[in-house]
Structure 1
Amino acid sequence: MSPRKAAAVRAGDRTLREHLIATAERMMAERGTAGLTVRAIAREAGVADGVLYNHFADKEELLAHALRARAESVGRALDPLPEPGSGTVEENLRAYVRHGLTAHNALLPALAGLVAQPEVLARFSALSGGEEDWRSWLAAYLRDERDLGRLAADAPVDAATSMIVGACHEPVLSTLFQGEELAHRVPSGSVDDLVAVVLRGIAPG
């Protein structure tokens, strides 16, 4: 096919660049990134292989944009995070943990294979432009609750943040490094246990 618009683009409002990003995002979500080639993306998008290079410097740039699009799609599907001072701290922390677990699990297929493609991850990070992420929101939430007096005045919020973020990262890291069959999945019921440990610890009372 010549470098003209694909049929899917002619029928809609997306530019060819947007169409290529959306196609790569969908393929990443469904198949992961391992073995995802320029030819495969081009065929799925309905364009010639060389068309991609009219819009992106290389495959890594396209995948970085596709990963960014996937992260944004996942984020839009999640419930809003609670504000400091609303509800109870315990309820709010459960919402943050559920948010983190859901987001990381949804991104897992797209992240599969990227351990061996650090250039894609570096470009993805650069696309964020220093924007705050879920970890930053969680840390800010805990600091605000401490300032409001709903946490101890000396509460180590950075340590609590690391505990929660680490638990949400665990399923992703174990899958990436151990494979799907050996991966350790965090059961949904463990959300309550994690929040209880963060708030009350494990030492005897």
Structure 2
Amino acid sequence: MAPRRAAALRDGGEQSLRAHLIATAERLISERGTAGLTVRGIARAAGVADGVLYNHFADKEELLAHALRARVRAVERALGELPEPGGGTIEGNLRAYLVHGLDLHRAILPAFAGLLAQPEVLARFADLVRPGDDWRDRLIGYLRAERELGRLAPDAPVEPAARMLVGVCHETVLSQLLRHAGAPDTAPASPDEIDAVVAAVLRGIGR
């Protein structure tokens, strides 16, 4: 027997049931986070029977991985475009990349924090990320392009520089996760602190 179509799909829309389930799970992650998210809860929100999910996904972990990826993409779209190589100033562009990365990590922290006890979901999420898609890869690509354009030192160690900026964003995540235990929040928050990080990186890669 074919799975019962969700009420949201009965009006002849082009969205498939699989896409509808992913979109529903992504919405629930946005509203409630991932902690305690169940197959039954997703199915009810999607307007389908519990078993319908298994007609479109191998298991709950696969659905959550796709929903988590959709959530990250939604946050990235909301944050806007990143600077292109060759435009503006290196300092201003790196600042934009760092602010974007900090905002991205802060926004997706609740979703990832709720999955720390579900490593299978995180592993499948990682498998969905294509090279060049995520913010880190785009940052490295930007720095390489600027080096090729001659706007950075010809021997600029762009990969280590990118790791420094990524590390700052990861520190933000760890600081927020540990804050409840009394650990201080050491991640840069003010414009002056962000500018200081960018200046430190540029001292190592600038012309």
Deviations 1:125-151 (A, max 9, x none): 222243442212211222222233322
* Range with greater deviation from structure 2 (78-87 or 115-124): 78-87
In the alignment, does 2:9 pair up with 1:9?
yes
Matches within 5 A, 1:66-85: 66-85=67-86
- Measured after TM superposition, the shift of residue 122 of structure 1 is 1.3
Match of 1:191 among 190, 194, 199: 194
Q: Which amino acid aligns with 2:5?
A: K
> Does the Cα contact within 8 Å between 1:30 and 1:109 map onto a contact in 2?
no
1:24-80 per-position Cα deviation (integer Å, ceiling 9, x unaligned): 101112211111111111122122211111111110000011011112212222322
- Structure 2: which amino acid aligns with 1:9? L
Does the residue aligned with 2:200 lie in a helix, a strand or coil?
helix
Greater Cα shift, 104-113 or 145-154: 145-154
* 1:67-106 equivalences in 2 (<5 Å): 67-106=68-107
2:203 to 184, 200, 203: 200
CA contact (8 A) 1:28 1:110 kept: yes
Alignment correspondent of 1:112: 113
TM-score (norm 2): 0.85
Following superposition, the deviation at residue 156 of structure 1 comes to 2.1
Task: Note closer, same or farther for the CA distance 1:182–1:29 as it changes in structure 2 (3 Å cut).
Answer: farther
Cα separation, 2, equivalents of 1:52 and 1:186: 42
The residue number in structure 2 matching 1:150 is 151
8 A contact 1:142–1:157 mirrored in 2: yes
Taking the TM superposition and a 5 Å limit, the aligned residue runs for 1:10-49 are: 10-11=10-11, 12-49=13-50
What's the CA shift string for 1:141-164, capped at 9, x where partnerless? 222222333222332222211110
Q: TM-score, normalised by structure 1?
A: 0.86
Question: Structure 1: where are the runs of 5+ without partners?
Answer: none
Cα contact 1:75–1:103 (8 A) shared by 2? yes
8 Å CA contact 1:115–1:176 kept in 2: the answer is: no
Whole-angstrom CA distance in 1 between matches of 2:97 and 2:190: 13
Query: For residue 129 of structure 2, what is the aligned residue in structure 1?
Result: 128
Q: CA RMSD in A?
A: 2.4
Assess, with a 3 A threshold, how the Cα gap between structure 1 residues 101 and 46 changes in structure 2: closer, same or farther.
same
SS at match of 2:116: helix
Aligned residues: 200
Percentage of identical aligned residues: 65
Shift of residue 193, structure 1, vs aligned partner: 2.1
Do 2:79 and 2:100's aligned partners in 1 also have CA atoms closer than 8 Å? yes
Query: Mind listing any 5+ residue stretches in structure 2 that lack a counterpart?
Result: none
- Alignment-mate amino acid for residue 189 of structure 2: P
Amino acid at match of 2:203: R
1:159 paired residue number: 160
Q: 2: CA distance between counterparts of 1:125 and 1:22? A: 19
Deviations 1:160-180 (A, max 9, x none): 111101111222233345559
